[in-house]
Structures are given as structure tokens and as C-alpha cells.
Chain A
Amino acid sequence: MLLAPRPLTLGQYATAVGAPKRWVQNAHAVLGLGAVYTPEEARRLAFARLLKQACGMPLVAAYPLAAPSLAGWPGRRTWVLERQTGAAAVAVDLERFLSDCNIRLSLARSWYAERRRGRPPKARRRGVAWAKWYGVDVTLLQESLKRTPAERLRALDANLDFLKSLRFTGR
């Protein structure tokens, strides 16, 4: 069964659009979009932002062009906005644009997890005492330090191989 992808948080959405959070919130207010943040919406808003930046088109005029333009890929590789005179005002390489959007979306989902808010807690303990209090098995670290970095890295690869074999044979 396929699960529907989780909606994005505001921070992830702004990363996917490639714009500051405040800009995204203002854009949603101007376009009357509400606070639903999805990858598709991020692509549309990124496209509208591109048109706004490239040729100064107002967001309310650029946004309605986004959905039909992006739907043209993969049949059409380039989307061209023509002026009334027939001259091209802006040409968008759709594959490159969508690739850039997807890279930002990947970052938003896997790299830019929400940061811990506020001031970091003041550590009362440091070093080994803190690690013990936190639940780290310090004897493991002491054993590890007896080995060379090369031995540690080889052990990491061996452990990873073992874990992978467990994943493949697990039911």
C-alpha cells in the first residue's frame, strides 16, 4: 500500500521553493493559497517566483501560468513566454528547472530537518561524565580507541554489511 507523502513544514517548503520563509508566507497571502505546503505547490510557486524575478511579472499574473507550463514536461523541454510583439521575453528549460526544484525538495526532506528551537540547553556536565549521564557506553569508546582508525573504518564496513544482510533476510 502506498502512503501519501507527508505535507512539508513551512521551513521545508521554503527550502523547496528556494525562497525565505517570510517571502513564502507573503506570497501565499497575496495568492490566497492558505497554509497547505505540498511539493507540487512548491514547484508552482518557484516557477512564479522565477517569472517575477526574470521579467518583473507580478506574482498574481505569474502564478496561474505555472501549472499549465509545468504540465508541458516531458513533451516540451522549453517553455517560452512571448511578448505581445512576438519576441521571447523569457525561456525556461523545464527539465533543468524541475531538476533544481527536486534537488531543493530532497534537501528539504532529508537534510534541513527542523532545528531545535531556542537557546541550546546549558550543559552541566561535559566530556565523559556527560556521555555517561546521557547513556553512552563509554567502555565501547575506550575499546574503540585502542584500535587504529583503519581498523575502526574496516569494522564499520563489516558491521554495515552485517546489518544489510539482516535487512534482506528479515521478514
Chain B
Amino acid sequence: MTLLGMVRGLVEADVRLVVIGGVAANAHGSARITDDLDVCYDPEDGNRRRLAMTLAAWGAYLRGVEPGLPFVMDERALRTTPVMTLITAQGSIDVMDRVLGVGGFADVLQDSEEVEVGDLRFRVLSLAGLIRAKRAARRRKDLDQLPELEALLELSRRPRPLKPPETTPPARA
């Protein structure tokens, strides 16, 4: 499955979420390729249950851990550990109920923009929000992405050149 396919799967399962991380950066114009989907989810009980059920149906397992170890993917696991890094049959996904530098889900939602890809509609964290999150995380890979995001912010704020006005050809005498 593709990254957009994973987003579609979550949206169709009625999971309230905001896409953050590399996919959101790509939506804003980043040229970096990412192979995992990062989402911030609403920690409301029903939403957490729907997310856990979807991830369990995708055969989610922990990333960076030897295979075959005990792992229970359910609502309780999400409640006790609100941040999880997972590998699923559909691809890699990181789920969290808050974003460092931005805040809880309500703050993330407020700082998000709607994206429409065909008939699929979902929200992505704003460019300014992504920059705040990367600054706060302070991991090397996050800091490496900052110059590109800052450039995108500046470029997107520059006034676009106006198209030359359509002129009608002069009438022949």
C-alpha cells in the first residue's frame, strides 16, 4: 500500500487525525522522500479504539524490536504509551497524541490545513507548525530538515508574480 493508501485506510476507519512529519512536509513542497507516515491522533476513547483496531487489522508490530516478542495492539496500549513506532503490512507508521513544540491534538488540529487528493480529504500540520516541531525535537535528522522547511516557508510567503493581463489583439484597421 502507498502512504496515501494508508491515510485513506485511517480516514475511512473514521480515525480523527492530523498528518505530520515527512508526508506533511511533502504536501508543503519538501523534496525529501519519506517512507513512513506520522500521524497525531485525537486521544478520545472511541477514536483511540478505532485507531487501535485499524492498526491491529494491519498486523502492526513494533519497529526496532526483534520479531516474535510479546506485543498487544489495543486501545489500552495506546493509552499507556501514546507514542508508538510501528511497522504494518501497509507500511511504517508512527502514531502519537501530541507533537513536541506544537502541543496536544487540539493544538495540532488548530495549526493544520486541509489537503484534498482526489476524493480523499485530510488535514496536515502547517509548515510553521512543522518547523516548531522539528526545532523542539532537536534530533539530528530533524535539524537536518530545518533549512529546507525554512526555505519553503520563505518561498511560500513571497508574493507570486502576477500573470500578464490577457490583451486582446488590436483590431485590424
Identify 11 new A-B residue pairs, CB closer than 8 A, beyond the known A99-B77, A141-B152, A153-B4. Answer: A5-B66, A106-B85, A107-B81, A127-B151, A128-B155, A132-B151, A136-B147, A153-B23, A157-B2, A157-B5, A163-B35
From known contacts A131-B150, A145-B29, infer whether A115 and B138 are also in contact, taking CB-CB under 8 Å. yes
Q: B140–A113 contact, CB under 8 A? A: yes
Residue from A100, A106, A150 within 8 A of B116 (CB atoms): A150
Q: CA separation between A159 and B23, bound complex, in Å?
A: 13
Q: How far is the CB of B24 from chain A (nearest CB, A)?
A: 10
Q: B72–A99 contact, CB under 8 A? A: yes
A152 interface hit (Cβ, 8 Å):
yes
Q: B139–A113 contact, CB under 8 A? A: yes
Q: A134–B147 contact, CB under 8 A? A: yes
Query: Interface of chain A, helix or strand or loop or mixed?
Result: helix
* Chain A residues engaging chain B, CB cutoff 8 angstroms: 5, 73-74, 94-96, 98-100, 102-107, 109-111, 113-116, 120, 126-128, 130-134, 136-138, 140-142, 144-145, 149-150, 152-154, 156-157, 159-161, 163
Q: Which residues of A contact B70 (CB under 8 A)?
A: 73-74, 94-95, 98-99, 102
Q: Which residues of A contact B124 (CB under 8 A)?
A: 149
Query: Interface of chain B, helix or strand or loop or mixed?
Result: mixed
Nearest to A121 among chain B residues (CB) is B143
Q: Which residues of B contact A145 (CB under 8 A)?
A: 29, 152, 155-156
Q: CA separation between A5 and B26, bound complex, in Å?
A: 33
Q: B84–A103 contact, CB under 8 A? A: yes
Q: Which 3 A/B pairs are nearest by Cβ-Cβ distance?
A: A127-B154, A131-B151, A109-B64
Q: How far is the CB of B62 from chain A (nearest CB, A)?
A: 4
Q: CA separation between A153 and B66, bound complex, in Å?
A: 32
* Selected A-B contacts with CB under 8 Å, 7 pairs: A102-B69, A103-B84, A106-B62, A116-B143, A153-B26, A160-B33, A160-B35
Q: Which residues of B contact A116 (CB under 8 A)?
A: 138-140, 143
Q: B83–A111 contact, CB under 8 A? A: yes
